[in-house]
Amino acid sequence: MTDKDMKEQVINNIICAMSPVMETMRLQMLEGAVRGALHGMQLVKECTELSTEMDDTRYILECFAANKKLEGCTELTLDQYLRTARRFFLQAGKGYKYITKDDVKYYLALRSQQVRPNTLNNEKRNLSSLFTWLHDEGMIEKNPVKPVKGIRGEDVEIKYFSVEEEIAIRDVPCSLRDRAVIAFLFSTGVRVGELSQMDRIHVDMLKGTVVFRGEKSRKGKFRTVYLDTRARRYLAEYLAGRKDAHPALFVTERLYNGQPKRIHKAGYEAITHRVCEQAGILREKGTVHVFRRTFATRLADRNCPIEVIQELMGHSDSGTTSRHYIEKSSRRTQAVWEQYVLSA
């Protein structure tokens, strides 16, 4: 093992040990400090040899997770990486050093009978990220996932509310809070996890903006969404009528020891389910995620550039936006056809 390799192992070992108790920014500072301290020094194998646990797959996964956290990977994404990896190694029955492309193919073949193609593709990407890291770190000679071809994704019908359904939802008689929630979702298209973490201070009523940390964004990137006239009015009325000092943007109507609580994910889903049922819409369609997809589809119907929709949705690439969130409506297709064919 070269001096450079030993230094990288020492750095990885320290990052792994400190990852559970340090935030991303502090981990990055620690890594820089350790690299600076080791610069110009020569390590001797006798005093830097790592324990045999380094060969243990579980330990390797901890190091992988620590490095991903250092890069700014979100906890949700980290959990998906590790869940896939643990399932894979349990199936393979061997350590990371002995994995072959056939092991990867066999695992994907088995999983193809249990999950949808899009989920299978996600798992393949998770494994690819792990083994690419192992290869880059010099822990394996070849990346066993690299030769494995991608899985063709399925065409999934994108659920969204029609204009008529949206009108019916908006017309449902409900509390001022629920009306504000519905208007907020139609106007911003935020994720339910993002909404559950929002506070009053995130909203600028004068500008009609909401600035917050995106749920799936790396390195704590902030995202800005905008309130339309209706959302602005209902939200202002709701907040003006609040008697509590709770920081949450939306709180429960029920009081606990005289005080409301922050509404969490299940609470928001209950609100949208209830309002949609009252509007005559199937309960399973009345999720916060369908509001999010409706938001993206409405923007696309108005010929909003895909890059702008991507930014508002908080996606890292436009492919995710177009594949999973924008319904290719016949009205929009006809409009494009008329623009490029009839006008020729």
Which ranges of 42-157 would DSSP assign to H, the alpha helix?
A: 45-48, 57-70, 75-92, 101-111, 117-136
pTM score: 0.59
- Rounded distance between C-alpha atoms, residue 91 and residue 88, angstroms: 5
What strand order describes the sheet that includes 222-226? 203-204, 209-213, 222-226
Boundaries of every domain in the chain: 3-136, 163-342
Q: Which two tokens stand for residue 203?
A: 């909203």
pLDDT by position in tens, the chain (length 344): 677 777 888 888 888 778 777 888 888 888 888 888 888 787 766 443 434 434 578 888 989 999 888 887 778 788 899 999 999 998 888 889 889 999 999 999 988 888 888 788 889 999 999 999 999 999 999 999 999 887 665 555 668 899 999 999 999 999 999 999 999 999 999 999 999 999 999 999 999 999 998 876 655 678 999 999 999 999 999 999 999 999 999 999 999 999 999 999 999 999 999 999 999 998 788 999 999 999 988 888 888 888 888 889 888 776 667 665 565 555 555 655 565 565 54
In this predicted structure, what is the pLDDT of residue 48? 37
Quote the pLDDT of residue 283: 79
Instruction: Kindly provide the b/e burial profile for residues 180-203, where b requires at least 16 CB atoms within 10 angstroms of the residue's own CB.
Output: bbbbbbbbbbbbbebbbbbeeebb
Tokens standing for residue 154? 């399925």
Residue type, 49: E
pLDDT value at residue 158: 65
CATH fold of the domain at 163-342: hpI Integrase; Chain A (1.10.443)
Cα–Cα distance between 199 and 37 in angstroms, integer? 41
Q: Are 64 and 81 in contact (CB under 8 A)?
A: yes
